[in-house]
Structure 1
Amino acid sequence: MGKIVVENINIKIKDMEKTLDLKSQWESFKLENPKLRIRDAAKQMGTTEAELIATSVGETAIRLQDQFKEILKEIEGIGYVMGLTRNDHCVHERKGIYKKVTFDGAMGLAVNPDIDLRLFMGQWKSGFAVDENGRKSLQFFGKDGVALHKIYLTDTSDEAAYTALVEKYTAEDQHRTLEINTEKAIVTEKPDAEADVDAFKAGWLALKDTHDFHGLIRKYGLTRTQALRLAPEGHAAQISLESLKAILTKISVTDLEIMVFVSSAGCIQIHTGLIKKILETGPWFNVLDPEFNMHLRMDGIASIWLVKKPTDDGYVTSIEVFDAEGNIIVQFFGKRKPGIPENEDWRMIANELAVLV
């Protein structure tokens, strides 16, 4: 028994030494790269964002209990906040109130006109309350130390409610070791000749709901980009980056409401509404509206597809943007609800301005 205690103490000492060493490296790195965001800094340093945040525990960060569902249900009490979900190439920021957060097992929903989320709680592994020069937030990370979802206070948020929430869910052991696993499953695309392409096309044409598409490609063992390449004639076409920019710019001068989906491993965040202020700066194509911001890094885009799927309500048109590994960066749809046909103006703009490549 005594030997086990000594071994545990030795492990904790080694972990603390590792954290202190990383903290020193992180402080030096910030001085040399003051404008670099923490996600990019972590990659350059060969570590993870969660581990960098953990170096500030006791100063600007507080480790939270792993009761993520309970925390999310109580965010509503903080009031008007900004939710942020991103991947390597697109940032989605939406302001609003976290109402109607519900869970069915590991799956969660927040369905509101402003905060609209799909939550995959099996991916959520650690969380922190962070105070970055007075900017307070709750930040949640996956098993690989990559950020899944962040919630930032705004000028009108209830700071007292935030403080009470953080105190309620502060972890007892603030320096508990982060268990980081950066191994990724290798996705290999099987040869087209091994796929039952005819049956897949028939399944596509028989779709009743866009949500069934994921199950369809899994059934036939296809990657998403492979599925688009093998789509029935007239149902998927690769389009240019310039045409995507033209479509979004055209929409910005209309009163057409669209849907913008961006996901991390543990969250899909959706904006439904107008996009108005478009600004291109360097590699970034931005939407900069009061309640919704999107930052799309164009040099991370490998392909863009104009996709058409049949449903019980008629065809649904989407624009789907992918990186070089075949991961979805962002998706665009016309605003719609089940039982309501797609907006014809969205369909017309998407088809008329799409330039095939």
Structure 2
Amino acid sequence: MTQAPTAAEIRQARLDNPKTRDRDLADQLGISEAELVAAHVGHTATRIDPHPDQLMSQVSRLGEVMALTRNVSAVHERKGTYGEYRAGLHASMVLGKEIDLRIFPKYWVHGFAIEEQTEKGLRRTLQVFDAAGDAVHKIYMRDGSNHDAWDEVVAELKLDDQSETISVDPRQPTEAARENPEKRDVLLAEWAKMTDTHQFNRLAAKLGMNRLGAYRMVSGERWVRPLETGAVETFLNAVSAAKQPVVLFVGNKGNIQIHWGTLDNIKPMGPWLNVLDERFNLHLRGDRVAEVYAIEKPTKRGPAVSVELFDAEGGLICQIFGQRADEDDDLAVWHGLVADLPTLQEQVPA
């Protein structure tokens, strides 16, 4: 087994590769991103309390920042100010027009405040990682942020333990599609009775399946239409051209970040499909999209229709719903955009 690099060796690798992203450099070194950051404690990083109950009570003092949540296939960046925080034992929320989060606190395990000099000047960030050392949520200070509050916020969150090494757990693999063919008819019957989209995960779990497994089991039925994966870019462009506001979710085990609004500036770059708007950026790895579905779920306000993207491991990359422009909006434009997407001709094997 190759011996893990020391903190000093990690810092030297960072100096030798100044333009390499933390996640990529960590992969090259055979360590987690959190271990890479921890090696800089006492230099450019400070260990802080990662729990959202403590963190979110301080972050709003920083004014307008950039919130970032990612998974292996998509990055969601939103500018704004952290507003109302609602704590919960198993799930918490940040509610706001711009920064809107669904937080799962047990995954907020390691936290750091980072100050580092870059080609563009001093960069200040707060970063949270899970037990495996993978990024859960990051908060970037901007030029217009309240930098005067930074030192006080970091001091308030600073932990007594300021060691430059951390222990991480093995990374848990993405759960593959889990089906239960014996419950297929029950799934369809219960699906038709739903009145809220949030009921779906509980339904799938009760029947011994997960989201992707449920979709595959009833693919081609009324509620689930498999789509051509190559249509994602065309779809984003169509949504942009129609100026159709959306509700776009990108998440990981510990956090889901939500964008409300239009997608104005679509820019493909290599394997990446990008939305580069003034207040919102999405970076989506188009080459990692393995399955795409148009999903309908009945609700009290009418059908909730989404486009959902999965990677080859079965991980949910993102979900996109139509957003009503006002109370009278019946989402006819959104439904038409989704209906125009090409159906996958070959079914995904179970």
Give the structure-2-normalised TM-score.
0.90
> 1:45 maps to which residue?
29
Which whole-Å deviations, capped at 9, do the CAs of 1:85-142 have from their partners, x for residues lacking one? 0000100000001000110223211111101000100111110001232110100011
Which whole-Å deviations, capped at 9, do the CAs of 1:238-281 have from their partners, x for residues lacking one? 21233221121012123321011000211100000011111000
Deviation beyond 6 Å, 4+ runs, structure 1: 337-341
Matched, 1:198 2:185: yes
Contact 1:313/1:341 (CA < 8 Å) preserved in 2?
no
Instruction: Give the Cα–Cα distance (whole angstroms) in 2 for the partners of residues 106 and 338 of structure 1.
Output: 32
> 1:101 maps to which residue?
85
Contact 1:260/1:331 (CA < 8 Å) preserved in 2?
yes
> 1:157 maps to which residue?
145
> 1:111 maps to which residue?
95
Q: Which amino acid aligns with 1:203?
A: E
Matched, 1:229 2:213: no
Instruction: Give the Cα–Cα distance (whole angstroms) in 2 for the partners of residues 141 and 335 of structure 1.
Output: 31
Instruction: Give the Cα–Cα distance (whole angstroms) in 2 for the partners of residues 167 and 191 of structure 1.
Output: 48
Q: CA deviation at 1:337?
A: 9.9
Q: 1:60 aligns with which of 44, 64, 67?
A: 44
Instruction: Give the Cα–Cα distance (whole angstroms) in 1 for the partners of residues 47 and 10 of structure 2.
Output: 21
> 1:352 maps to which residue?
340
Q: 2:310 aligns with which of 322, 325, 338?
A: 322
Contact 1:288/1:294 (CA < 8 Å) preserved in 2?
yes
Q: 1:273 aligns with which of 258, 261, 266?
A: 261
Contact 1:247/1:349 (CA < 8 Å) preserved in 2?
yes
Matched, 1:210 2:197: yes
- For residues 238 and 26 of structure 1, do their structure 2 counterparts lie closer, same or farther at Cα, with a shift above 3 Å needed? farther
Q: Which amino acid aligns with 1:94?
A: R
Q: 1:124 aligns with which of 108, 115, 119?
A: 108
Give 5+ residue unaligned stretches, structure 1.
1-17
> 2:161 maps to which residue?
173
- Percent identical residues: 35
RMSD over aligned CA atoms reads 2.3
- For residues 321 and 191 of structure 1, do their structure 2 counterparts lie closer, same or farther at Cα, with a shift above 3 Å needed? closer
- For residues 321 and 96 of structure 1, do their structure 2 counterparts lie closer, same or farther at Cα, with a shift above 3 Å needed? same
Instruction: Give the Cα–Cα distance (whole angstroms) in 1 for the partners of residues 89 and 294 of structure 2.
Output: 34
Q: Which amino acid aligns with 1:205?
A: A
Give 5+ residue unaligned stretches, structure 2.
346-350
Q: Which amino acid aligns with 1:104?
A: G
Q: 2:62 aligns with which of 78, 83, 88?
A: 78
Instruction: Give the Cα–Cα distance (whole angstroms) in 2 for the partners of residues 355 and 41 of structure 1.
Output: 39
Q: CA deviation at 1:28?
A: 2.9
> 1:8 maps to which residue?
none
Matched, 1:147 2:135: yes
> 1:3 maps to which residue?
none
Contact 2:228/2:344 (CA < 8 Å) preserved in 1?
yes
Q: CA deviation at 1:65?
A: 2.7
Q: Which amino acid aligns with 2:135?
A: A
> 1:290 maps to which residue?
278
Contact 1:243/1:355 (CA < 8 Å) preserved in 2?
no
Q: Relative to total residues, which structure has the larger helix share, 1 or 2? A: 1
Which whole-Å deviations, capped at 9, do the CAs of 1:301-357 have from their partners, x for residues lacking one? 111111111111111110100011211011100014998875221111111134434
Q: 1:312 aligns with which of 280, 300, 305?
A: 300
Q: Larger Rg: 1 or 2?
A: 1
Q: CA deviation at 1:218?
A: 0.3
Q: CA deviation at 1:197?
A: 0.8
Q: 1:250 aligns with which of 238, 251, 257?
A: 238
Instruction: Give the Cα–Cα distance (whole angstroms) in 2 for the partners of residues 56 and 82 of structure 1.
Output: 22
Instruction: Give the Cα–Cα distance (whole angstroms) in 2 for the partners of residues 186 and 291 of structure 1.
Output: 31
Instruction: Give the Cα–Cα distance (whole angstroms) in 2 for the partners of residues 205 and 175 of structure 1.
Output: 54
SS at match of 1:127: strand
Instruction: Give the Cα–Cα distance (whole angstroms) in 1 for the partners of residues 11 and 212 of structure 2.
Output: 38
Paired positions, count:
338
